[in-house]
Structures are given as structure tokens and as C-alpha cells.
Amino acid sequence: MSLRQRLVPYGLLGPGLLWLIVFFVVPMYFMGELALRSGSLTTGYTFDWAWSNFPDSLAGHTEQIGRSFFYAGTATLLALLIGYPLAYAIAFRAGRFKLLLLFAVIAPFFTTYLIRTIAWKTILSDSSPIVSVLQTLALVPPDGRVLATSGAVIAGLTYNFLPFMILPLYANLERLDLRLVEAAKDLYSSSRQAFLRVTLPLTMPGIVAGVLLTFIPAFGDYINAQLLGGTQQSMVGNVIQSLYLNQRDYPEAAALSFLMMALILAVVSVYIRFAGTGAFMGDEEEAT
């Protein structure tokens, strides 16, 4: 292979790699630099290896961090419980409605995220029929609210990230070789056993991808907590946004952003170790 031929791929990759390095990798360095500054908004922030920003921002916001874990974790679990049967139904039982159902799954993407969340605010508002139904069923106390509670934030997060759960699950289920399930039944397994021993293990990569794609954005989200929650429901995202854009306490904001990344990476790597798959990294899509 000539030198020129060997340089072709780098030429093709060049612009994209450059853009990603300059505007994604390098900014991380500057966020790190910002996180190690000290000072105040009025005197300006100067770089002086202020490592204490990290423990300080962690100690100051344990409540919001814990809440983010709880909300994002619950929303992910709910999305899996709602999404798996739906993806299964679309893959195997939908018949000629398959395309229509798939469309319904991606339909939320066609309306603005923010407006969808505001719509939930309307749906869960005190005078809404859904709330009266919940009150009649005694799931909500007669004088209770749904809006501005943890339940509303979790419902919003579940809704907003549900497509990210369903699509990888569907992609995985669709490729499932149904003859394997048949074989299990021929060998006298019950439907339940066939599902637990054959279908579920074979769709693990889809579950792992879906869980990650739901949990990560849900953990960093601040729109749902802001619009559907009250002051008692703020998550790490809300704190970071407020520190950066309102209080302009950049060092603490940057330190907290790093902590959030570190926490997510820790959770994700533990999770991948237990679930064990390379599917998320696109390993199966190697060059031909």
C-alpha cells in the first residue's frame, strides 16, 4: 500500500476528529482547570490547585446527588418494565401494525423535549382528570397533589427517556432467532422457563444498552425536576445549571460536573462488568 493510500483514512477522519477533540476533549481540560480555581465572582477566580473544591462540592450536595441516583434509577427500572413488553410486542406480535407502533415509539422525538415536559405539567396539574382518577383510586390523598412531587419528576424522566430504552431492546429482540425458543419448548420447557433461560439471556445486550442510554441522560437531567418538581426535588443537574448560569460560581460548578461524570462512569463500569457485554461499544460493527 502506498503512503498516499495509507493517509486516505486519516484525511477522511481529519475534520471530524479535529472537531471532536477541540470541542469535546479539550473543553474537559478547561473544565478541570476551572474546577481547581479559587476566589469569588467579584475578585475573579484564579488557578491555585484548589483540590478542596471537590470534597466541598460533594459534601454540599449529597442530598441532590442521592436524589439523582434514586430518580434516575427508578425511572430506568420503570422504563425497562414498560419498554421490554412493548418492544417484545412490536417485534413478535404486531403483525401489520409494526411500523405504526414503531412510529408511536419515536413520535415524541418529533415534538420539542421542553414542550413535551410542559405538556406533562398540564396533565399532572391539580385540576387535571388524571389526578382526580388517582385521587378516586386513593393512590393520591384527596387533597394531595401530583405536581411538585418526586412521583411527577420520576414520571417525567421515565417518559422522556423511554424511547432510548425501547429502541435498543427492539433492535435486539428483532434479531432473536425464534427457533431457539421453539427448541426450548420442544425440550419441554414451559413458556416461562423458555423466556428466562433463552429469550432473556439473548436480549441482555439490548437491556444493557437501553439501561445505559436511559440512566445516563436521566441522571444529568434538570428540566424534569425544574418543571415537574418543586424546591424539594432538585437534582445535581439543577445545582450545576444554577451554579454556572445564575450564581456564576464556576469552580464549584465545574468540580460538581466532574464529580457527576466520575459517579456515572463508576456506576456504568460496575454495571458493564456485571452485565458483561461489548454491545454498547459497537464492537459488533467492525470493518468489513
Partner 1 sequence: MALATRSWAWLRRNALPIYAGLAVAYMLIPIVVIAVFSFGATPKGKLTFGLDNGFTTEYWTSAFSLPELNEALFTSLRLAALSTVISTAIGTLMAIALVRHKFRGRRLTNLLIVIPMATPEIVIGASLLSMFIYYTVALGFTSLLIAHVMFSISFVVVVVRSRLIGFDRNLEEAAADLGATPLTTFRTVTLPLLAPGILAAAMLAFALSIDDFVISNFNSGTTVTFPLYVYGVSLRGIPVQVNVLATMLFIVSVLAAALVMVQQRRAERMAAVRPEPIPA
Residue 253 in contact with residue 237, Cβ under 8 Å? no
Residue count at the site for partner 1 (CB under 8 A)? 85
**Is position 71 an interface residue for partner 1 (rule: CB under 8 A)?**
no
**Binding residue for partner 1 (CB under 8 A) from 65, 237, 249, 279?**
237
Which residues on adjacent β-strands are paired with residue 44?
40
Gyration radius (Cα) of the chain, Å: 23
- 113 binding partner 1? (CB under 8 A): yes
State the nearest-atom distance from the C-beta of 113 to partner 1, in Å: 5
Task: Give me the 252-271 binding string for partner 1, x by CB under 8 A, dash otherwise.
Answer: -xx--x--xx--x---x---
Which whole-number Å values give the CA distances from 160 to 25, 105, 280, in the listed order?
28, 11, 21
Which of 220, 230, 267, 272 binds partner 1 (CB under 8 A)? It is 220
- Taking CB under 8 A as the criterion, which residues in 10-49 touch partner 1? 10, 12-13, 15-17, 19-21, 23-28, 30-31, 33-34
Any contact of residue 241 with partner 1 (CB under 8 A)? Answer: yes
The Cα 257–Cα 35 span in angstroms is 9
Q: How far apart are CA 169 and CA 60, in angstroms?
A: 38
| Residues near 223 by beta carbon (within 8 Å), at least 6 away in sequence | 113, 114, 117, 160
First-to-final CA distance of the chain = 18
Among the listed ranges 57-65, 134-142, 189-197, 234-242, the one in contact with partner 1 (CB under 8 A) is: 234-242
Contact with partner 1 (CB under 8 A) among 50, 105, 167, 279: 105
Q: What cell was used for 139?
A: 393512590
> Among 100-108, 137-145, 173-181, 200-208, which window interacts with partner 1 (CB under 8 A)?
100-108
**Residue from 54, 69, 195, 250 in contact with partner 1 (CB under 8 A):** 250
Residue 46 β-bridge partners = 38
Question: What is the rounded CA–CA span in Å between residue 172 and residue 271?
Answer: 19
Q: Which residues inside 142-201 make contact with partner 1, applying CB under 8 A?
A: 159, 162-163
Q: Examine residue 82 and tell whether it contacts partner 1 (CB under 8 A).
A: yes
Using the minimum distance from each CB to partner 1, give the nearer residue, 29 or 187. 29
The β-bridge partners of 40 are 44
